[in-house]
Structure 1
């Protein structure tokens, strides 16, 4: 990556550095002030870039935030993309349990940023739409795993993979927000045990 950047012209290298500075300043400002109270002017000031220059890269704070959100979600996608090729129900449940644990642990580790995401979804139509697309990407990946289990005679074949995947993701998302908000109503291990038990016994033979 460094080599490829070094091959760019000085002007393009400067542009990449400016964009990176704006994104870093944006994340710091969002974490300090929350989504609604953050302004593009605050981000520009923290990044120490020209006011007009910032708008070359981002039309507004919503667009800048969506890039930060995508970067964060890519870490969650890495969990979703863990190979899922179980040969038995027990192996499938262990793989699912591990994925749920990694997914929820990452959400808690990034809870400050996740709370800003939650706030932004509620006040920005663009970010709400972006979150919808993120959901659909996760649901599609889960559908593929369910279809694999059905094709290999591990899961009930009378169930619709896309519908089951949708319900499974929404359940995980709900508890993710519970844990992110640190309401301390439920222990993570209890959440994982109950989620996987209900899902696994409902889907797998």
Structure 2
């Protein structure tokens, strides 16, 4: 089963109290473990509420279905990825250092939340609109950073959207290989990726 929705369509029901926000947070965190461990089709609402330590009725206070909390979870994870990358870098870094720091933040996040890869991969089939929005918004942020680097005179003037998608693709698969499948030092992997951005891969004439 797949769901379709507008990218800016509200997901779930917003809590009105601090207690409600804590309950919603518990449900989303539990859903990440449930979907990450069992996959969308084998996961269950009762499994989510059991992990969250909440009553079944609490689930339906915020979500109408398993599809809806899955969609909310993808949106939540996208926000956490954005926050992890932002928190890993300081203000006013040079453009290439900004990319290196952002990747370190993502690699650390992926190492702590390995379930994100399974959840996002399944999202392509469960909710294609959320899947596309996740990657589109990530590429847009990278593109904006590249544009700022161009504006400051630190990057080539011909960098565009496709370059942002290429960088994102590199980052995603480095995360899979070195944060999910293995545990490599994020700083080392980010420096390797940054060297590709700095120098390219073509052999230079001596």
Sort the Cα spacing of 1:26 and 1:83 in 2 relative to 1 into closer, same or farther, 3 A. Answer: same
Distance 1:110 1:120 in 2: 16
Count of paired positions: 181
Q: Which runs of 4+ in 1 moved over 6 A?
A: none
CA contact (8 A) 1:76 1:103 kept: yes
CA contact (8 A) 1:84 1:145 kept: no
Alignment of 1:119-134 (within 5 A): 119-124=121-126, 126=127, 128-134=128-134
Please name the residue that 2:108 is paired with: 105
Distance 2:197 2:175 in 1: 16
Unaligned runs of at least 5 residues, structure 2: 1-14, 201-206
Q: Residues 141-185 of structure 1, C-alpha deviation per residue, up to 9 Å, x if partnerless?
A: 11122112212222111x24212111111111122222344157x
Please name the residue that 1:152 is paired with: 152
Please name the residue that 2:163 is paired with: 164
Distance 2:120 2:101 in 1: 25
CA contact (8 A) 1:66 1:130 kept: yes
Unaligned runs of at least 5 residues, structure 1: 1-10
Please name the residue that 2:175 is paired with: 176
Larger relative contact order (CA 8 Å, sep ≥ 6): 2
CA contact (8 A) 1:114 1:180 kept: no
Please name the residue that 2:55 is paired with: 48
Task: Report whether the alignment pairs 1:94 with 2:136.
Answer: no
Please report the TM-score for the alignment, with normalisation by the length of structure 2.
0.69
More helix per residue: 1
